[in-house]
Every structure is written in C-alpha cells, then in structure tokens.
Amino acid sequence: MNRELIAAIDLGSNSFRLQVGRIVNDQIYPLDGIKESVRLAAGLSSDRMLDAPAQFRGISALRCFNERLRDYPPEAVRAVATNTLRVAKNAPHFLVQAEAALGFPIEVIAGREEARLIYVGVAHTLANPHRQQLVVDIGGGSTEFVIGKSFAPIALESLYMGCVGYSLRFFPEGRIDKRGMREAEMAAQKEIQTISHAYREVGWDEAVGSSGSAKALVDILELNGLSDGGITRSGLEKLRALMLKAGHLDNLHLEGLRPDRLPVLSGGLAIMWAVFQEFGLERMTFSEGALRLGVLYDLLGRYHHHDLRDATVSAFVERYDVDGAQSRQVTETARAFLLQLEPAAAEEENADRRFLEWAAKLHEVGVSVAHSSYHKHSAYILGNADMPGFSRMDQGRLARMVLAHRGKLSRVGSLDPESPEWRLILCLRLAAVVHRARDGRGVPPLRLKREGKGYVGIADAEWLRNLPLTAAALDEEERQWQSIGMPLKIRVERAAARSPVAS
C-alpha cells in the first residue's frame, strides 16, 4: 500500500469531522476535511436522552460525509463516536440510523481509548515528540488528559466535562457573569483534582492543547494581542475579564472568534482556566493533531498488520496468567471449525476470524478471579477493562462470545438470529468442549456445516468412542442449540465408510 487514501470520522459532542489522508511510505498526509457543527451534547436531556433535533443534525452531517466516502472500501474508513454517544441512553437507536446514513460502521470508544488516539494524533505533529508531554483535549462532552513521551502514552484519563455541557449549565442563554464563571471553574477544578496529584507525580516537560476549544483560544488570544504565542495564563485572565465585561455572548466581538465556537466559548474557557490552575501551568502550545489524525494512524497500523489490538490481547494473556498451551489449542481448533463454515476466513485479516481468535485466547482470563463461573468473570473483565485499540462495541462483542462459550446459550439469546456472531460462538463452544481434558491432542476429527437454520457436526466414531465425557458434552450442546431455535445435530460416522451410526 504505497499511495492509498484512508478516512477517519470523529462523531464528537460538538462537531462531526471527516478527515481524509493519503498514505505515502508509512506516513499520512492529511488532505481535505469536512466539519459539521452538530452540537450533539446540547441535545442531551437531564435523563440522558438525545433529542430529535440533535439526532437530525447528526444524521444530516453523516449523509454529507457519505457522499465523499461512497467509493471507499470498508477497510479504508473508521468512524468513532465519543462522550455524548457513550452516555446517551438512546444511542443504540441513533447509531442504527447513523450507520445507515454514513454507510460505514460506527464504533463508540471508551474515554481512555479516546485519550490514547488523541495522543497518537498529537505525537505525530510535534516538533520534538521525545520530550514528555501533557496533552489536554477539551471536547464538547468530555476532556481528555494524557502524559506521553515519543509515541507511547504513560497516563490516560477522560473526565466528564466539556465545553458544550458547561456552557449550557453555567452560562445559560449566553449570559456571562462572575457567579457562573466561578461556579464553572470550581466544578472543573473539582473534576481535575481527581487526577492532578498523580499527574504531577509523573511530570511533563511541555503542555500541549489539541482540538476545538484549544484552537479557538489560541486564535482569540493571538489575534487580539492577549498572548505572545499559544495559550498563556495572563492571556486567559485578560480574555476572562473581557468576557465578564461583555456580559453576554452577543456583546462579544473578538478577532478570530468563529460563529460556530461562540456558543461554547464560555465553557471551554472555564475548563481551560481550571486546567491551568490545577496543573500550575503558565503556557500551553497548540497541536493540530487530534482524535481524527490518531484514528488515521491507528487505521494505518491495521493496514500494515501492526494492529494494537493484537498487542493488547497478548498483554491480557500475560497479565491474567492464561494457560498458554490451552489457549493456543482452543484457538487453533476454533479457527479450523470456522474455516469449515466460512471459507472467507482463510484470509488472516478476516474480521470474524480475528474476533474468534481473540475470544479464544482470552476466554479463560476470568480464571484469575475464580474457577467457578469463570466465563462470567472473563466476560466482565473483557467488557469493562481498558483495552487499548478496542472500541466499546469490540469489547462488548468479545465479552458476549466469551460469556456464551459455555453454559446456557439463553444468556445471549437477545442476539439477532441472523448475526454471524452465532457461528463464532458455535466454533468457540465446540473447541472448548473437545479440549476440556487439556490433553493437547490437536484439532479433532469433527467437521461442521450449515444446514437450514442450524448446523450439523460430523464426528468420527472411533475418535468419539474413547471419549465418553466429550460425547456427553456434545449431547448437551445439541440441547442448548435446540433451545434457542438454532439446532445443532451431531452425526457420528465411521471413518472408512462414512456410514452413520447412532447419534
């Protein structure tokens, strides 16, 4: 892949952004980008429901992006959603419409994963990334804090405070007064105090701001002579005084203040002031790198088979002291079963194959908690741990597969009957069944095929005759799959004649 185009979409709480990049010799050169101000967080009610107008604005923006991306292959596009769609109760309903409008899957990413991707984007734009950096990204619904050096993050946090939410909460209808400003600053300082001590212990050489709020503040401070470069403490003090004097956003006339940033400027300023106070900053530089650039570089890594998710899985196997031999055996057999059902999985980068392999490698992480009901512990860990490179939906998929790899299938009965995930669950369950003895016997003589709404497994009679426990477990598998209306029939045949015997 020498000169390919890839695209990243950032569904932020304030704006949706599309960034197209060209890959030239493992470097990304940003090309055209599109920004649509949707103020999604402004449509979030007190009970965390996204209102219809906000949804309409978001869908309209994604339809515009679809026109630009219509000819892109699925593997060249990655769309991520952040805080508002993390917390909105009706986000799943919105995402169905959003994916239809965009034409590509949308991943809701966790706060720390967002912070990691932001740092990846920023690190690729810094003149000297080898200095230790404190990166602060004030978004519409959350603010991310990262300490990193070179291209490796050291500390990652995401706090639930953003310029949209704070502007609506403390500066209603555009009013700016001392009480609202002070309350906003104190609320932000209270949030930051949960991490400031630990971050000061780690330390940094330089503070860097990224994304919309930081960009807006840099432009305003520099173009109005309030700063000699970047964001400074004295510049923020002067801007704060000007805004309080204006009393209302309508009375604020500043060079560099774009109309789309005006409604969220007050909240962004209050949070930035709190950042300077809590971290003892005097100056902050600005980086054009942000979440969408980080997504592009992460996508580039996946293109070149340097997928961070593989490293994360390996780290979890080590951290939770997973039985390596058993993990490899179950993975090998589950993969072999999948190839029988899905020939396209012969491609190493096939998405179903990769998720099945990850689930097989991680299905026993819960044993580190307790052997009893370990699959439930495994599912909880995979669904809730910080897993760099994995979106929330990725983690949810892994957790569901691992939960379903043994016991009652009704636990995942809400899964769409047409979902390809059922194939993966079948392969993982059967692999776990045939290797329960941990004897390292290799892939067994069991062939799978699809039949009607269910599956057929053809087992070698000689193999199964000597394994009564496995035979009993396969009988139980038949009952479990029948219970969800997706029958599995195990047929036992002699290897020579392949004539059926009792099942």
How is the chain split into domains, by residue range?
Answer: 3-108+294-301, 126-287, 307-501
Same CATH topology for 3-108+294-301 and 307-501: the answer is no
pLDDT, average across residues 423-451: 91
Which residues lie across from 136 on neighbouring strands? 145, 209
Under the banding of pLDDT at 50, 70 and 90, the label for residue 303 is: low
Four-residue CA torsion sign, 134, 135, 141, 142: negative
Question: Which has more confidence, 196 or 126?
Answer: 196
C-alpha span between 300 and 307 (Å, rounded) = 9
Q: Using CA atoms, how far apart are residues 194 and 191, in angstroms rounded to an integer?
A: 6
The more confident residue out of 199 and 260 is 199
Judged against a pLDDT cut of 50, whether residue 499 lies above it is answered with no
Model pLDDT, residue 156: 94
Token pair in block for residue 376: 């439930």
Query: In the structure, what pLDDT confidence band is assigned to residue 39 with cuts at 50, 70 and 90?
Result: confident
| pLDDT tens track for 81-120 | 998 999 999 999 999 999 999 999 999 998 999 999 999 9
Q: What is the pLDDT of residue 360?
A: 96
Higher pLDDT, 29 or 144: 144
What pLDDT does residue 496 have?
Answer: 52
Strand extents, DSSP E, 187-293: 206-210, 231-232, 283-287
Domain spanning 126-287, CATH class = alpha beta
Task: Point out the least confidently predicted range of 1-15, 32-46, 333-347.
Answer: 1-15
Does residue 2 surpass a pLDDT of 50? no
Report the pLDDT averaged over residues 256-274: 94
CA angle 234, 235, 236 (to 5 degrees): 90
Classified by CATH at the fold level, domain 3-108+294-301 comes out as Nucleotidyltransferase; domain 5 (3.30.420)
Query: Per-residue pLDDT for 439 more than 90?
Result: no
What are 186-242's pLDDT values in tens digits? Answer: 999 999 999 999 999 999 999 999 988 999 999 999 999 999 889 999 999 999 999
Average pLDDT over residues 237-266: 94
Closest CA to 488 of 449, 460, 461, 443: 449
Q: What is the mean pLDDT of the chain?
A: 90
Q: What is the mean pLDDT of residues 253-263?
A: 91
Four-CA torsion 446, 449, 455, 457, nearest 10 degrees: -20
pTM over 0.85: no
User: Residue 409 is which amino acid?
Assistant: L
**Which class is 307-501 in CATH?**
mainly alpha
pLDDT of residue 260: 85
pLDDT at 305: 56
